[in-house]
Amino acid sequence: MIGPQFDEGVFRHRLPIQIRFIDVDRFGHVNNNYYFAYYDLGKQEYLKEVLHEDMMGGDLVPVVVHIDADFFVPVYYGDNIVIETRISHIGEKSFVLQQRAVNAQSETTVCQCTTIMVCYDLKQNCSVEMPKDYRTKIENYENANLSK
């Protein structure tokens, strides 16, 4: 069933989302599908801000292998939605992102998502170790030891 909401604690990275009319379905709700486009955007901006480079530009790219998402309340066109993103764990070749969408007016969490990503080398065509400086930059940003 619906999981419990994420542990409170800090989400340093917050990205306000511009909801598009095209995101809205027959019921006036934002279609669930678009939440993943919002999470994606939060993810890109997080990685760009924290790693100070376009992780999407080189041979090493983060690849989504697992998504786990809970939907608590509907979102409507006109709502002010903020995507909050943090990395909660770093493994050898993978890392775990926690994200949630918060209604900026009501401060309600409308949905949340856990994503497991693997560092993938497009040239070698296989998963590779997380670069050490990425690990450092992320732990500094999150102010936490994420490797345990």
**Strand positions, DSSP E, 72-134:** 81-90, 94-103, 109-121, 126-127
The residue among 31 and 88 lying less far from a second copy, judged by its C-beta, is: 31
The residue among 89 and 137 lying less far from a second copy, judged by its C-beta, is: 89
Stretch that binds a second copy, among 63-71, 102-110, 128-136, 140-148 (CB under 8 A): 63-71
Residue 129: half-sphere exposure toward Cβ, Cα within 13 Å: 6
**Residue 118 near residue 127, CB atoms below 8 Å:** yes
**Beta carbon of residue 23, minimum distance to a second copy (angstroms, whole number):** 9
Q: Compose the 64-83 pattern: x for residues touching a second copy by CB under 8 A, - for all others.
A: xxxxxxxx------------
**Residue 59 near residue 121, CB atoms below 8 Å:** yes
Can you tell me the distance from the alpha carbon of 27 to that of 37, in angstroms, rounded to the nearest whole number? Answer: 19
Q: Which of 10, 37, 104, 126 binds a second copy (CB under 8 A)?
A: 37
92-111 binders of a second copy (CB under 8 A): 94
9-28 binders of a second copy (CB under 8 A): 17-18, 20-22, 24-28
Can you tell me the distance from the alpha carbon of 45 to that of 69, in angstroms, rounded to the nearest whole number? Answer: 20
Helix (H) or strand (E) holding 36: helix 32-51
The site for a second copy (CB under 8 A) is made up of 1-3, 17-18, 20-22, 24-28, 31-33, 36-37, 40-41, 44, 56, 61, 63-71, 94, 116, 122
